[in-house]
Amino acid sequence: MTICPFCQASNKPGAEQCKSCGRHLTTMQCPHCGATNSIQDLYCVSCFSLLHPTAETEKALAASPKVISAEPDQTEEKASEPELTDDQTDKQAMHPAAPIEDDFAQEQLPITSISSTEESSWPQLVPSPDDELGNIDDILDINTRTMEQPDSSAPGYRRPTSRENQLARLWQQIGIKHAPMDEGRHNLSESQEKRTTPRQRFLIYILTFALALLPFLTKGQITDALTTDESASGLLASELAIVPTDQPVLISFDYDASYAGELLPVAKNVLNTLVVRQVPVLTMTTRTTAADMSALVLSSLEADTLSVEWTDLGYTPGQTGLRLLAQSWQAAFPLCTTESTQNATQVSRVLVFSDSLETSLAWIELFGSQVDIPIQMVVTERIYPLLLPYEDSGQLDLLVSGVSATPDEESQIRGSDASLFLLVGVLVLAIWGTWTKSHESVGR
């Protein structure tokens, strides 16, 4: 059963319009920009204006002694409105969404408009000390001041506080005329014109797609000046070369499938190197979505995996699992055999493949701070800079990013070409975007 948010009438599930009041039950138009929103949205998806009167606004309305009748005198309202200048008429023509706001105010709230005649006839009331939202007189004074642009040096003038401005903005959002944010509302409407048109969007997507294909056509010839001698893959390889063969290495696969393209080639290379060197390997994960990653990597190795001592400890749940791991291996992996977990206590180092800052920090702070085992990380380029402070401080033994640590030189070169084309694409779009704006300005 669907309850109409406007009249509280009960409707059949899935009904699009209320059988009682006829309003849409699933969508509503933004009173400011006219964009279509879900009825459950609090703010407009386009201009972020408040769509529904919140508890605060309702409280403000209830606390206000100046709530006017729900059906104002239209003639009086029209008479009180000043005539529009040519410029204002142009603005109104450019922003046809403005009348919708008034309709919205009539539909949603008991207040529809505040004319200057009504305003002058309001009695001066003492604000209630219990009214958390402040006195409505102050808000409307701000409105008057803003509209008239008074001299700030005049005696008795007081700058509105941030709270008063906030409240005034609230009034503006629920559709009261002459709010101090009128200017801002026009700016919002102008910014809407800066959205991409379908044609522009189509061209941008075609350009992006073409740029993504280019590295495969150029085969890295454009950036063949790439040198791999000092790359992260070399650094990682030199680290793997000194791993002791009598102690196991714990490898944690903590990345989702979406980053497999970046981290999987490095993971394969690392495991292949360890298997060739006959280093015992323990694998685990703290992510449910990466539970099969170790088996996937091992199944695709070039080296003979049967000759290596490999144990998959399995999954331990995130931060809690790492906290347990720091206390007891058996507690973190209760389903593993005692022999496996005893073997795990002899781990020489931990190598983490991660795409998440939270997981990486959990390894450093929850595990690394409790257990004296060096932690090495291969992470995505996205979180690499954020983990650099930990490498500087010595909490991380080694930190490399997946893109640069990819052992496949051809992949590196292609990635390099892709970055170059991305740079070109951004430049093209920058020029195009700037030119389009200038062109529109000239047109006006």
Does position 207 interact with another protein (CB under 8 A)? The reply is yes
Task: Rank residues 341 and 416 by Cβ distance to another protein and give the closer one.
Answer: 416
Judged by beta carbon, residue 204 or residue 276, the one nearer another protein is 204
One of 22, 110, 184, 317 touching another protein (CB under 8 A) = 317
How many residues sit in the footprint of another protein (CB under 8 A)?
Answer: 63
Region of 242 please: left (phi>0), alpha (psi -120 to 50) or beta.
Answer: alpha
Minimum CB distance to another protein, residue 230 (Å): 9
Tell me the CA distances in angstroms from 68 to 76, 81, 112, 249, one per residue in order.
13, 17, 8, 75
The answer to whether residue 419 forms part of the interface with another protein (CB under 8 A) is yes
Q: Which residue has tokens 């944010």? A: 181
> Shortest gap between Cβ of 77 and another protein (angstroms)?
36
How many Å apart are CA 319 and CA 268, to the nearest integer? 26
Tokens of 228: 């791999």
| Whether the Cβ atoms of residue 193 and residue 444 lie closer than 8 Å to each other | no
- Residue closer to another protein by CB (options 15, 100) is 15
When binding is defined by CB under 8 A, the residue of 10, 258, 307, 345 that contacts another protein is 258
- Strand partners of residue 254: 354
- Return the range that interacts with another protein (CB under 8 A); candidates 91-99, 252-260, 272-280, 341-349: 252-260
Query: Is the distance from CB of 275 to CB of 308 less than 8 angstroms?
Result: yes
Stretch that binds another protein, among 33-41, 121-129, 341-349, 429-437 (CB under 8 A): 429-437
Does 416 engage in binding with another protein (CB under 8 A)? yes
| 126-157 residues labelled b (16+ CB within 10 A) or e (exposed) | eeeeeeebbbbbbbbebbebbeeeeeeeeeee
Distance between CA atoms of 391 and 63, rounded to whole angstroms? Answer: 57
Residues that bind another protein (CB under 8 A): 13-14, 191, 194-196, 200-201, 204-205, 207-209, 212, 222-223, 225-227, 256-261, 289, 292-293, 295-296, 299, 317, 320-321, 323-324, 327-328, 331, 385-389, 392, 412, 416, 419-420, 422-423, 425-427, 429-434, 436-438
